[in-house]
Amino acid sequence: MKHLAFPVFFLLMVCGSVAFARFDTFVFETPQDEQRFKKLSAELRCLVCQNQNLADSNAELAMDLRRELYNMIKAGKSDAEIIDFMVVRYGDFVLYRPPVKPSTYVLWVGPLVLFVIGVVALVMFVRRRGDDVLAGGDLNSDEQNRLEGLLGKQNEKPHQKTGSGGKRKQK
Amino acid sequence: MKARFLVPLILFLLLIGLFVAGLKLDPRKVPSPLIDKPAPQFSLPGLLDKEKIIDTAELTKHKVSLFNVWATWCVACRQEHPFLMALARAGDVPIYGLNYKDKREDAIRWLNQYGNPYVANAFDEDGRVGIEWGVYGTPETFVIDSKGIVRYKQIGPLTEQVWQETILPLINEIRAEEG
């Protein structure tokens, strides 16, 4: 019997997890209602497990809120009314897409501002470096002589490009 | 321009500062949209006495009252309970309870076993009233003034520290307003 212990244990584990997963069965009158339910429950956050939406969460509260959602859809409430119901009780935090208003400006505009700052910094950096390379003005006369010496040696070798291309490489 | 090499370091330190500040914030504490709004209306049977109806008007009979959401399955509520008992013994502020998604016998047994700090308890078996109040993590405690306005919401257990630093000053303020 001992060789059966593991398979039985495994089976119990699998069955156990199935038994613990809870499903609510909602019957919708129209496919549109079902679509709305899916859409809204995906857009609303479960406050108990904050990185899950109502559709995914198995928390008690999420189940209750899914039931509320179902009842509201069944009662013919509009999406706006349902969203409002949730926001009045749980605040904007319940929405995965928060409204644009003064307290959420940072959220909406922040990434764009950071992006613009990044692009401006990048452009400035690249331009300045480009100027430095092209001007070659940073070298004093000793360095310039040495550079030319090195380039001169290189230029004697076959297959070696000459001119500003080689110069840029050296820098 | 010599200090230019310090720029990334300073930016890095600013970023670390931001992260440290972020560590101290509790993402579970979501500001309640109910603050400074009228308390949601409800009417529920009492916990100990089914016939006695507890409603929002009952909560607002006092200058200021506490409305504590609890359940026997809630571990933090057990942790909070001795403090509620101490508040009830001091008798300064009436405490009302909302027994949330619980079994009546369990809740009554709890009160008999650990003591009953509540003036009265409403029995919210299916959690509908909890939803009206935006409850998402028990224990939660609302401070309600005599006009029926929610003045504060404590998410998580009431403690001596929260009481002394936040709730007691608020209660004194409410009492001063109402004379």
**pLDDT tens digits, B41-92:** 888 988 888 888 888 888 888 889 999 999 999 999 999 999 999 999 988 8
Q: Can you give the pLDDT at residue A18?
A: 46
What's the CATH number where A64 sits? Answer: 1.10.8.640
Q: Can you give the pLDDT at residue A158?
A: 57
Task: Identify whether residues A116 and A64 lie together within a single domain.
Answer: no
Predicted confidence (pLDDT) at residue A59 exceeds the cutoff of 50: yes
**Chain B touched by A48 (CB under 8 Å):** yes
Predicted confidence (pLDDT) at residue A107 exceeds the cutoff of 90: no
Predicted confidence (pLDDT) at residue A29 exceeds the cutoff of 60: yes
**Chain B touched by A11 (CB under 8 Å):** no
Predicted confidence (pLDDT) at residue A11 exceeds the cutoff of 60: no
- Domain end marker among A82, A99, A116: A99
Predicted confidence (pLDDT) at residue A6 exceeds the cutoff of 50: yes
User: What integer best gives the mean pLDDT of chain B?
Assistant: 89
β-sheet bridge partners, residue B153: B142
Q: Can you give the pLDDT at residue A20?
A: 46
Distance spanning both ends of chain A, measured CA to CA: 77
| A69: containing domain | 2-99
Produce one character per residue of B164-176: b if its CB has 16 or more CB atoms within 10 Å, e if not. Answer: eeebeeebeebee
**Cβ contact, residue pair A93, B30, below 8 Å:** yes
Within 8 A by CB and 6+ apart from A60, the residues are A48, B101, B127
Question: Quick one: average pLDDT of A105-112?
Answer: 90
Q: Among 3.40.30.10, 3.40.109.10, 3.40.50.300, 3.30.2010.10, what is the CATH number of B31-178?
A: 3.40.30.10
Distance from CA of B54 to the nearest CA of A (A): 21
Q: Can you give the pLDDT at residue A5?
A: 63
What does B54-87 look like in DSSP terms, one character per residue? EEHHHHTTSSEEEEEEE-TT-HHHHHHHHHHHHH
Predicted confidence (pLDDT) at residue A154 exceeds the cutoff of 50: yes
Q: Can you give the pLDDT at residue B11?
A: 92
CA separation for the pair B66, A31 (Å, rounded)? 45
Question: Quick one: average pLDDT of A143-151?
Answer: 85
Task: Identify whether residues A12 and A87 lie together within a single domain.
Answer: yes
Rg of chain B, C-alpha, whole Å: 20
**Cβ contact, residue pair A91, B33, below 8 Å:** yes
Task: Identify whether residues A165 and A81 lie together within a single domain.
Answer: no
Report residue A51's pLDDT band, with 50, 70 and 90 as the boundaries.
Answer: confident
Q: Cα dist. B18→A42, A93, A107, B5 in Å? A: 31, 21, 16, 21
**Cβ contact, residue pair A89, B31, below 8 Å:** no
CA separation for the pair B119, B56 (Å, rounded)? 14
Interface test with A, best of B136, B140, B153, B155 (most A CBs within 10 A): B136
Report residue A118's pLDDT band, with 50, 70 and 90 as the boundaries.
Answer: very high
Question: Quick one: average pLDDT of B101-116?
Answer: 91
3-class DSSP string for A44-64: EECCCCCCCECCCCCCHHHHH
Q: What is the ipTM of this complex?
A: 0.75
Report residue A170's pLDDT band, with 50, 70 and 90 as the boundaries.
Answer: very low
Predicted confidence (pLDDT) at residue A128 exceeds the cutoff of 60: yes
Task: Identify whether residues A87 and A30 lie together within a single domain.
Answer: yes
Predicted confidence (pLDDT) at residue A171 exceeds the cutoff of 80: no
Please give the sequence-ordered ranges of beta strands (E in DSSP) within B51-173, or none if there are none. Answer: 53-55, 64-70, 95-100, 120-124, 140-145, 150-155
Interface test with B, best of A46, A61, A71, A106 (most B CBs within 10 A): A61
